[in-house]
């Protein structure tokens, strides 16, 4: 609606009741806080056609009224006070009161926050060469201004140390470059998309990131957890990625406790990820993927490269493909991020497969039922496809029965470039596969070091 207003077309949105707070936050974030809309009770996507029609008809008078009147700027309800003071019987009691207040305002992640005192923030700022007031970027999805000081405040609350700060800054900067809108449309989705951070280069070992069993909890993953948490808090409190406001995820996912891992470069037979992305091996980088799910791929006996890769290819088939825009693969399931442990990567590499050859093999063999991949599409009872959901290039599907659609086979990925392999893991042959969005972004870290 805001884009329509920019070209001079008066626009009024229909907003289902559950999305009203999101509409307030989004209209402010995207530069038009007085955007008009009318509330309808139900979400349209899976609503019976008769109810779609009736609730729209009931809103017509309000739509006309909104087009012929004006409103004042809406209040976001976001507290922008710069300084807060908490007192208690002792420091511990004051910290608990701070946490209770922050949790009520949804400024945390549900876990205990460290107090971002002036002294703690100043110490955190010593971890970078940038001045406190330097604007790193505007951070999606709400495009708050991410100054170095704001990033440092959130890093303190996560329990980070000054040496972690350059990684967090680079991740924040990288997120703003992901896709043409900083990943805004993905991050505000009703699906469980979430960023995942992969660190490469010397800084991973220097600050203690774990490249082995890297996604779990515990002592070995303390730095992984803290760095990911610092980035996640920046996302919330700078990018306004608050549940129910600008994150409309239906069920949620533990991946939104954002994870940070380091590639197991020493155990990899190939060049690491950041070299694939155009950096030198001795540079430090962080790469941002946006993931939508996770699958454990078990292999209980294969020792040949082709056998191991066939298992991975089979596992990659889970997920969906899109028919929108006239091109398969625009949304949902078009790309795969593979965390391949050394016990899989080394046999594959040692038996003559380059990383590119492994990706090509997986792409060629990740083939499944096209009908299964598009089960989410709203087919009519008579087998036809709703015109509003399928582009002209795919209208021929209307002529097929359900069984015929199931019998068509297709690659889950459009090309080998849609497959991203990162060597992560301990000495076991269990691979993780993540559906991911269009292309990761890699950001250099060294420029942010003190």
CA torsion angle 23 26 31 34 (round to 10): 20
User: Each residue's pLDDT tens digit in the chain (450 positions)?
Assistant: 888 888 988 888 898 877 887 888 788 777 888 888 889 988 887 788 888 899 999 989 888 888 887 766 666 555 556 678 999 999 999 999 999 999 998 899 999 999 999 999 999 999 999 999 999 999 888 888 999 999 999 999 999 999 999 999 999 999 999 876 656 666 777 778 889 999 999 999 999 999 999 998 999 999 999 999 999 999 999 988 888 777 877 888 888 899 999 999 999 999 999 999 999 999 999 999 999 889 998 887 888 999 999 999 998 888 776 654 444 433 444 789 999 999 999 999 999 999 999 999 999 999 988 888 877 776 654 555 454 456 677 777 777 888 888 898 888 888 899 999 999 999 888 899 998 877 799 999 999 999
pLDDT for 80: 58
pLDDT for 190: 76
b (16+ CB within 10 A) / e for 210-221:
bbbbbbeeeeeb
Strand (E) or helix (H) holding 51: helix 49-58
pLDDT for 182: 58
b (16+ CB within 10 A) / e for 333-346:
bbbbbbbbbbbbbb
How far CA 438 is from CA of 33, 90, 186, 428, in Å, comes to 30, 50, 10, 29
pLDDT for 299: 82
pLDDT for 411: 87
pLDDT for 331: 43
pLDDT for 198: 98
Which residue is it, tokens 């996604």?
215
pLDDT for 81: 60
pLDDT for 390: 64
- 141 cis-preceded (ω within 30 degrees of 0): yes
Say if pTM beats, i.e. exceeds, 0.75: yes
Percentage helix, strand, coil, to 5, in the chain? 40, 15, 45
User: Whose CA is closest to 32, among 22, 24, 40?
Assistant: 24
């Amino acid at each position: 609606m805001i884009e329509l207003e920019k070209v001079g077309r008066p626009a009024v949105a229909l907003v289902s009741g559950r999305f009203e707070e999101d509409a307030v936050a989004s209209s402010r974030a995207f530069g038009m806080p007085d955007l008009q809309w009318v509330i309808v009770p139900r979400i349209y996507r899976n609503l019976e056609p008769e109810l779609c029609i009736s609730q729209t008809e009931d809103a017509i008078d309000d739509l006309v009224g909104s087009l012929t009147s004006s409103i004042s700027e809406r209040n976001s309800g976001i507290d922008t006070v710069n300084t807060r003071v908490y007192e208690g019987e002792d420091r511990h009691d004051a910290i608990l009161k701070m946490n209770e207040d922050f949790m009520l305002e949804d400024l945390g992640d549900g876990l205990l926050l460290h107090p971002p005192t002036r002294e703690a923030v100043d110490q955190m700022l010593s971890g970078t060469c940038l001045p406190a007031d330097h604007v790193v970027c505007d951070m999606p999805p709400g495009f708050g201004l991410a100054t170095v000081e704001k990033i440092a405040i959130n890093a303190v609350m996560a329990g980070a140390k000054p040496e972690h700060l350059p990684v967090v800054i680079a991740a924040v900067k990288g997120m703003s470059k992901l896709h043409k809108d900083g990943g805004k449309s993905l991050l505000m989705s009703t699906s469980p998309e979430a960023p995942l951070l992969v660190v490469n280069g010397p800084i991973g070992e220097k600050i203690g990131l774990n490249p082995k069993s890297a996604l779990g909890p515990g002592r070995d993953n303390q730095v992984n957890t803290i760095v990911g948490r610092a980035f996640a808090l920046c996302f919330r409190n700078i990018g306004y990625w608050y549940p129910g406001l600008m994150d409309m995820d239906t069920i949620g996912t533990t991946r939104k406790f954002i994870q940070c891992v380091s590639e197991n470069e020493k155990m990899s037979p190939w060049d690491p990820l950041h070299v694939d992305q155009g950096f030198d091996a001795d540079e430090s980088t962080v790469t941002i993927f946006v993931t939508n799910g996770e699958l454990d791929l078990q292999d209980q006996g294969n020792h040949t490269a082709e056998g191991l890769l066939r298992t991975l290819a089979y596992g990659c088939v889970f997920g969906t493909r899109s028919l929108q825009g006239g091109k398969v693969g625009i949304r949902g399931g078009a790309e795969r991020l593979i965390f391949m442990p050394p016990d899989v990567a080394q046999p594959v590499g040692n038996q003559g497969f380059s990383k590119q050859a492994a990706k090509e093999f997986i792409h060629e063999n990740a083939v499944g039922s096209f009908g299964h991949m598009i089960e989410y599409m709203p087919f009519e009872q008579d087998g036809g496809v709703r015109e509003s959901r399928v582009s002209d290039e795919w209208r021929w599907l209307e002529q097929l029965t359900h069984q015929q659609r199931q019998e068509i086979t297709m690659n889950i990925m459009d090309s080998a470039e849609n497959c991203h392999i990162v060597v992560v893991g301990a000495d076991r042959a269990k691979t993780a596969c993540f559906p991911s969005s269009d292309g990761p972004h890699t950001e250099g870290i060294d420029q942010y070091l003190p």
